[in-house]
Amino acid sequence: MKIIETYNLTKIYSSLRRKSSVHALSELNLSVEEGTIFGLLGPNGAGKTTLIKILLSITYPTSGSAKILNEELSNYLVKSKIGYLPENHKYPPYLKGGEVLEFFGKLSGITGVSLKKKIDELLEMVKLTKWKKAKVKNYSKGMMQRLGLAQALINDPELIFLDEPTDGVDPIGRKEIRDILLDLKSRSKTIFLNSHLLSEVELITDRVGILNKGKLLREGAVKELTEKGEEYKITVEGGSLDEITKEFISTIVITNTGNNIYSVKVSNMDDLNKLLDLLRKNGIIIREMVKQKQSLEDMFISLIKESEKGNA
């Protein structure tokens, strides 16, 4: 089931003073499946936060429409099933950690014993139990993020929006947040994640979308997006590929990367098998053969550069 769907979603910010307008989102069509972790990537100003804000009716679209949990955005009651951790969130500084959760829990419709139980459970989960009675003005950035995550989960949401959840969190804290997200996924929660930390996104997301200047450049499973076609790294012993593969030159691209390691790009599996047969025939031992992938970061950077060139 699709839990988020957008149809030609467009947001234009107009400035009367400057007589100019900024296209934060341009005819965005996107869908997110239930029970998945979806990562939205993009450089600063790409429109990632605007998209979340529109989906939560914090900002309104200029045109287009969207559905969330199969409901129109205008139905604010659907937010009882949604959790949100905004970027640079602020809590009233006079409240204590537990009171912040109490306030947002009450606004989410939870009261009484179940709220108290949930508060203790979540503070335990984000390791802030000892800080329950400390005022949030004394919290560090990392602690604020962890409290923010607890706040986003106070209503046991089906869909969770996280905007830069690991911002300001140390590596151990990040790992803990990743584990929490994976645990939520195992409980069939859907997570929509905005992050700059591509290596982290790569570790936990099922699908990613890449946004630049309000346009969705690419969307798909992380595995699909990071595969480099039929490219292999082959480590050999007892000979060189340089001489014996000349006859394949038109169909196979081989690059010697040193230390008997070769990068091999083939156009089809037949060519690859022919190459392997040839190596064996020439007494060359194949020590290792690995299908090549590019990191999400590499793919992201090249995609954004391509897009910038296209726009220029």
Partner 1 sequence: MKNILIMMWFTLREALARKVFIFFIVISSLVILGMLLILTSKSTTVIIQTFGKSGQAIGYTQVIHALELIIVSPLSGLCILLAIFASSSFVPIMLEKGNIDLLLSKPVSRIQLLLGKYFGGVLVVFLNIIFLIIGVWLLISIKFSFWDFSFLWIIVIVTFTFAVLYSLIVLFGVMTQSSIFGMMIAYFIFIILSPLLVLIKDKFIVFLQNGFLKDIIIGLYYIVPQTAELMGETVSNLTVGKGIIDFQPILTSSAFLIITLALSVYLFVKKDF
Give residues in contact with partner 1 (CB under 8 A).
53, 56-60, 76-80, 82-84, 86, 88-92, 94-95, 103-104, 106-109, 151, 161
The smaller minimum CB distance to partner 1, of residues 164 and 219, is found at 164
Measured distance CA(82)–CA(66) in Å, rounded: 15
82-85 vs 159-163, strand pairing mode: parallel
Measured distance CA(156)–CA(142) in Å, rounded: 22
The smaller minimum CB distance to partner 1, of residues 63 and 267, is found at 63
The smaller minimum CB distance to partner 1, of residues 73 and 123, is found at 73
Measured distance CA(298)–CA(202) in Å, rounded: 12
Dihedral sign from CA coordinates of 287, 291, 297, 303: positive
Smallest distance from partner 1 to CB 308, Å:
28
Smallest distance from partner 1 to CB 6, Å:
17
The smaller minimum CB distance to partner 1, of residues 155 and 245, is found at 155
Smallest distance from partner 1 to CB 80, Å:
4
Measured distance CA(53)–CA(25) in Å, rounded: 12
> Are 222 and 205 contacting, i.e. CB atoms less than 8 angstroms apart?
yes
DSSP per residue, 64-87: EEEEETTEETT-GGGGGGEEEE-T
The smaller minimum CB distance to partner 1, of residues 164 and 202, is found at 164
Smallest distance from partner 1 to CB 77, Å:
5
Smallest distance from partner 1 to CB 171, Å:
25
Of the candidates 229, 64, 108, which has an alpha carbon nearest to the alpha carbon of residue 73? 64
